[in-house]
A and B are shown apart, each in its own frame.
Chain A
Amino acid sequence: MAGAVSSLSVQHDKAGLLESRQATREAPWVKAAILTVALSFFAIFLLLPLVVVFVEALAQGWETYLTALVEPDALSAVKLTLLAAVISVPLNLVFGVAAAWAITRFDFRGKPLLITLIDLPFSVSPVVAGLIYVLVFSSHGWFGPWLAEHDIKVIFAVPGIVLATIFVTVPFVARELIPLLQAQGREEEEAAVVLGARGWQVFWYVTLPNVRWALLYGVILSNARAMGEFGAVSVVSGHIRGETNTLPLHVEILYNEYNFAAAFAVASLLALLALVTLAVKSWVEWRASQTVAVED
């Protein structure tokens, strides 16, 4: 993705270049039309919902807003959402780096299979992902009887939610790293080895610094998805109030209880998360483009 990150800034220059030349400059009305279409689309489908969330959240004043956020069920939803993210994101970080490293640096049997598998959570509907866990861990599932014997709860409890979250967030880190590692090739690492670096040293001093922005980017996306996931988590949650409801599920419950202001207040937390994600993401992109510029 850092490939895409850096190409974004290059594109920006090209746009200026295109505009500066008579032959490649579009007629003003074409430019206006395309701009209007693109921007109004963004306004209606992206900006408007965001505004609506905050307007509705504050419709009954700050007091209702804050009450909705500090209410015990809401707090427990926040805690659970954070817990799911805190467990799933580091796991994905480790797995993502390992998988990307394995795929780009080693040749082994079944490599295409691994690549396909990494993409699986993108192509499978989250509901199906949830149902898979229900099938495997429910009392009539494969491991159900064993789990019941040992009094371990997986689905309809926190572990199930964490598992479902891990499943849907698996691809993000690996998907960001693979193209970049591929593009960079092995030259720098080979040079390091020639100069006497060991495996870990190569990784820490050569590979990791090269991919750090892509890595961070993958972590951000992974985190956003972990906190926002609805479908898969909904299937395995059991919807016990104050216990197995994550933020998105809590929003749905509040909405179904005519508690519209509260529902949107909690939704605004998720929207804020999205905004923070966007800000950090832009910062990462900017830093990455700076790094590229310096290297160029």
Chain B
Amino acid sequence: MTRLTRLATATTLLFALAGHALADVTLLNVSYDPTRELYQDFNAAFAKQWKAKTGETVTIKQSHGGSGKQARAVIDGLEADVVTLALGYDVDALNTEAKLIPPTWQKRLPSNSAPYTSTIVFLVRKGNPKAIKDWNDLIKPGVEVVTPNPKTSGGARWNYLAAWGYALKQPGGNDAKAKDFVKNVFQNVKVLDSGARGSLVSFTQRGIGDVLLAWENEAYLATKELGPDKFDIVTPSLSILAEPPVSVVDKVVDKRGTRKVAEAYLQYLYSPEGQEIAAANYYRPRDAKVAAKYADKFSKVKLFTIDQVFGGWTKAQKTHFDDGGVFDQIQVR
């Protein structure tokens, strides 16, 4: 064991040295699945701006995966300077599980620390052969639904809650009816991938299912990348306002001495330039001016928030997604 440890130490040192020679400062942004393209653009813009402002060369490394899985990795010791995850609960876990950030993290940046928002839409095959228009079309017999697994994917939890909220807001809607509705939706689900990107690949590349419940940004990106002649985007009558939050990981930035640049990085997301990049990557910008500029890019849809319908993430997580929660109950067939 000592031999291995020594070897490990030597290798770490080697790489630490190599890393220092390469750049003045590096940041690690641990993010969720669909933000790859967004942060590719944003990182380049930020590095340029930071260099102009401070003369310092900053290199931002990226890690992507299912939001819950990524939070787990940071808790287990992945040294993320900033996290940009799919939902507040996953960032919260950094506080509750490992005290990496203070409990008040969400108050540190404007708009609940979510610099951009998104919502849940349907991606269907071209021409919409199964005529899927709204949430209640998902429970029709013979409609195959694709969504990632809410246990591991943040996007999937938004999917689930959006469906629940829709059922609840129908005339005569209540929790029991919503539970039945969501259960019926999940009975039509054919594949539960672990992350949003995996589901997208299942739907688009492997040709599985009739409808994919997807992030709006992911749906637009897929149609752009894979050809608008293959898929249609259907916006339901009602959906959820998804707020993917960002946070500096205090314990890591204080240890690595990167707090200043990490905070500037997240601030830059709120700047007009950052907002433009978000909008160009199909995330709904917070900035009113940028939002107005891109208004025709996003379809108008009635949105409800998680606080309105579910009383916040902690409660929603506990009721629906924890072990033995509603999602587990409806999975039992």
Residues of A within 8 A of B (CB): 87, 134, 137-141, 144, 148, 152-159, 162-163, 238-243, 253, 255-258
Contacts and interface: CB of A to CB of B under 8 A. Distances in A.
Contact of A238 (B12, B15, B63): B63
A139 B61 contact: no
Contact of A241 (B5, B8, B61, B201): B61
B61 to A, nearest CB: 5
Interface stretch (B69-77, B171-179, B281-289): B69-77
A152 B8 contact: yes
Given A134-B76, A258-B226, A157 B12 contact: yes
Given A152-B9, A240-B28, A157 B15 contact: yes
B11 A258 contact: no
B12 A155 contact: no
B133 interface: no
Contacts, number: 73
Nearest to B15: A158
A140 to B, nearest CB: 7
A139 B75 CA distance: 7
A137 B73 CA distance: 12
B7 A242 contact: no
Interface string B198-239: 100100000000000000000000000110000000000000
A159 to B, nearest CB: 4
A158 B77 contact: no
Interface in B29-57: 33, 36-37
B76 A153 contact: no
Contacts of B7: 87, 159, 162
Contacts of B64: 239, 253
A243 B8 CA distance: 16
A243 B15 CA distance: 9
Contact of A162 (B5, B11, B73): B11
B259 interface: no
Contacts of B11: 87, 158-159, 162
Given A239-B63, A255-B201, A256-B201, A158 B12 contact: yes
A27 to B, nearest CB: 43
B98 interface: yes
Interface residues of B, number: 29
Query: Could you say which of A144, A157, A256 has the most chain B C-beta atoms within 10 Å of its C-beta?
Result: A256
A156 B8 CA distance: 12
12 contacts: A137-B77, A139-B98, A140-B76, A141-B76, A153-B77, A162-B7, A162-B8, A162-B11, A240-B61, A240-B78, A241-B62, A256-B198
A58 to B, nearest CB: 19
Contacts of B76: 134, 138-141, 155-156
Contacts of B36: 256-257
B65 interface: yes
Given A152-B12, A155-B77, A256 B197 contact: yes
A156 B72 CA distance: 12
Given A153-B12, A154-B8, A159-B11, A148 B61 contact: no
Nearest to A153: B12
B4 interface: yes
A243 B30 CA distance: 13
A241 B27 CA distance: 12
In the A-B complex, list the 3 residue pairs whose CB atoms are closest, starting with the nearest: A159-B8, A138-B76, A139-B77
A127 B226 CA distance: 32
A156 B65 CA distance: 14
A119 to B, nearest CB: 21
Contacts of A162: 7-8, 11
A241 B75 CA distance: 19
Nearest to A137: B77
B79 interface: yes
A146 B208 CA distance: 47
Given A87-B7, A239-B63, A239-B64, A140 B98 contact: yes
A152 B10 CA distance: 10
B16 to A, nearest CB: 9
B195 to A, nearest CB: 9
